[in-house]
Amino acid sequence: MTKKMPTKSTRKSPTKKKHTPRPSLLRRSIRTLFKWGCLFSLIGSIPFAAWVWWLNGQVVSRFEGQKWQVPSEVYSAPVILKNGAPWKKQDLENLLEETGYRFGRNSQKVGWAARSQTKVSAHLRSYVDHLGFHESERRIFSFDNGRLVIKALNGQEIEEARIEPQRIGFLYGGNTESRQILTYEDIPEPLLEILIAVEDRDFYEHWGISLTGIARAVVVNLTHGARRQGGSTLTQQLVKNMYLSSERTYTRKLTEVIMSLLLEYHYSKNAIITAYMNEVYLAQLGNSALHGFAAASQHFFGRPLNELNIDEYALLVGMVKGPSLYNPERSPNRAKTRRNTVLGVLRDQGRLTESDYNSLAKQPIRLASKQKSRSVYGDYLDLVAMQLSRDFDETTLATKNLRIYTGVDIRAQRAASTAMRRQVANLEKSDPKLKGLQGAMVVTDRLNGQVRALVGSSGEYYTGFNRALGAVRPIGSLVKPPLYLSALATGRYTWWSQIEDKALRFNFNGQIWEPENYSHREHGVVHLYEAMAKSYNLATVALANEIGFNRVGDTLRQLGVKRPFTMLPSMALGALELSPFEVSRLYQPIASEGRSSELGVVLAVMDQDDQLMKRFDQGNDTAYTDAVLAVTLDGMKKTPEIGTARAAQAVFPNLNFAAKTGTTNEQKDSWYVGITGDYSSTIWLGDDNNVPLSITGSSGAQKVWIDFTQNVNPRSLPESLPNGAARFNVLEDKFEIAADRCRDKVSLAFLKGTEPKDSTSCYWPF
């Protein structure tokens, strides 16, 4: 066996080492700078990334949360037009114009109306309220001897038509922004196209920033040595308005760019443009900033956004560039020039023909009347806020964009405000000593007790002191109808019953009280209806003494007086102190004949999603029967027929209504209550310093009521009486039912069982 022999080593011999030249100083420096630059960039990117992460959180939390703190909106009741109601053609036309309807050749489009010499047609808007969705409808209105006739297009008569509730104001609670929130579906297509064409043509292509726009702005700014031009897209404008301050620095601009990219990364174009439509600032209205195209449309044109014309959209878009500079209320010529510039852009882009451009550019700027202002509804909004404060906190009302539906009647409110200002001015003019005369008025729906109008002062502007709620004054003779009701309710008295009107003397704990009639004369034996109609003090106190002063006090409380008082004899002549609102509540059971006893203000509250949050139902707890209340109301009709309200009856000879005047000691207060088929109205006039005046209830407050009633197309009280009451002709000098041929008779309402049992034919022997 042979062994393998070891082989010779194969290791190579060492070769000669290659020489590498040392890098130059410049190359070593660059390499060092690059190495440390990368290191510092990595370290520096950490806070930058944290900053971007923080900005991302800001973008998402604001955009997905409550973007805006929008105050609650307050709406009127719908105007219900009833077939057969008294209406004048001009009054209906005025109402349609006030509520934003435009008159043209036809009424095919929603929000449009047309008129001929005898008829008015209108395409009434749809709306949502606490009762549900109400469809839009075309109706034709004609006027038959002053009575409204409502028909559909097919000629069928319609019982009623409704004009949608009007926004009468906001509950701010410290909020200083005015908005109306749109969804993407609400945005009119023409407005969207005009906005993008003028403000950001590449909106649907870019990622939130426009590099060409930024480059162009940089060149201009560097050329002029200052920041004269921005390169903002609509997304950047939205970021600037929603998230950032108005300072103009490069740091803020960088923040704007990054947030715009983040916004575009998270949200769709539709969501971004919708937010822009709601956020854009368009005007400053006193302490309130006007944001969003929807709110601007209502403010400047008095109509919903989807009912505007192309030139009106162009005006609003033109204001984006400079809301103060191009405000059409302040600078109409400048605003028109800017509007036409926007129209020119549309023409140059082929969106308008030359002829359309020329036609639109010639259109004048037609702005809405600012009648629906705080000065008209401010006092009513006080009442709304007062009621809601029991169920909603101030922050919710100021920020959650709730929709509050009330019972205010825009026609009644307008008529009441105008009547108060006009008649107080006339009284001051007729007697300079009345300078500074103030007033308040409360108008309720006669049947359901909803407050239809409320006026807290006689001035043109809202003063902050609401006398309808805060002026607590003696009510004078307005206490008499409840007092007579108290007597009628006993069943021992009727309107025909007789009482003696003579001097009386009362000793109350050593205090002597001797009441007097206003005329300082006595009238002997009189009927109850006559004593009340002519406001005889002595007869009234005598009646109160017979039935018991405590009984009268109980009646006042049962009718709704919640303010504590002691029933002294002087209370029978109106020493009781109440506010006009409290007086209105006192009379509501009588006016409604028992259908309502409480006054209603807010009907319901809904949220942004049309969900009902709270419905307000009125209580109706009346201690008296419908019959006795109706008999009392019927007796009040004698005041305009033969008593202290004859001046009102002379103005309305064919109107069947009830009334009561009131004047306090030294004529410091002038009161009037008037009740028609539609409204129960309480009016007070007086001086804040409680000084004597030269007016009475008849010569003062009654004039305000006459003015108001002339402008609301009044309806008469119904002749019918409820079960348990009936009306009879009765001889004046003998308690017998009188035949038609009898001369000296009077028509009076009685509770069943209290009417005369005997009758007469008035045949006279020859």
Give burial (CB, 10 Å; 0-12/13-18/19+) of 264: middle
CA–CA dist 314, 346 (Å, integer): 9
Helix (H, G, I), strand (E, B) or coil at 4: coil
Q: Name the nearest CA neighbour of 183 among 610, 614, 612.
A: 610
Radius of gyration of the chain (CA): 38
Neighbouring residues of 555: CB distance < 8 A, sequence distance ≥ 6: 482, 483, 485, 486, 489
Task: Outline where 685-746 has alpha helix (H).
Answer: 702-710
Amino acid at 729: N
Task: Outline where 548-592 has alpha helix (H).
Answer: 549-558, 580-591
Are 401 and 71 spatial neighbours (Cβ–Cβ below 8 Å)?
yes
Give burial (CB, 10 Å; 0-12/13-18/19+) of 108: exposed
Q: Name the nearest CA neighbour of 418 among 91, 76, 712, 86.
A: 712
CA–CA dist 115, 96 (Å, integer): 11
Give the CA dihedral 653, 654, 659, 664, nearest 10 degrees. Answer: -10
Are 514 and 569 spatial neighbours (Cβ–Cβ below 8 Å)?
no
Cα 375–Cα 380–Cα 382 angle in degrees, nearest 5: 95
CA–CA dist 32, 301 (Å, integer): 68
At 437, list the tokens.
């005369």
CA–CA dist 711, 510 (Å, integer): 51
Are 665 and 539 spatial neighbours (Cβ–Cβ below 8 Å)?
no
Amino acid at 404: I
| CA distances (Å), origin 283, targets 12, 74, 330, 502 | 92, 21, 11, 68
| CA distances (Å), origin 101, targets 164, 338, 384 | 11, 26, 27
199 is catalytic: yes
User: Per the residue annotation, which of 477, 486, 698, 699 is the catalytic one?
Assistant: 477
Neighbouring residues of 508: CB distance < 8 A, sequence distance ≥ 6: 568, 569
Phi and psi, residue 154, nearest 5°:
-85, 5
CA atoms within 13 A on the CB side of 150: 20
At 513, list the tokens.
């009280």
CA atoms within 13 A on the CB side of 595: 13
CA–CA dist 193, 109 (Å, integer): 21
Q: How many residues does the chain have?
A: 766
Task: Outline where 65-127 has alpha helix (H).
Answer: 89-98
CA–CA dist 83, 144 (Å, integer): 11
Task: Outline where 65-162 has alpha helix (H).
Answer: 89-98
User: Per the residue annotation, which of 98, 199, 530, 593 is the catalytic one?
Assistant: 199
With b for 16 or more beta-carbon neighbours within 10 A and e for fewer, the 450-483 pattern comes to bbbbbbbbbeeebeeebbbbebebbbbbbbbbbb
Rounded to the nearest angstrom, the gap between the alpha carbon of residue 764 and the centroid of all alpha carbons in its chain is 64
Where in the sequence numbering do the catalytic residues fall? Answer: 199, 477
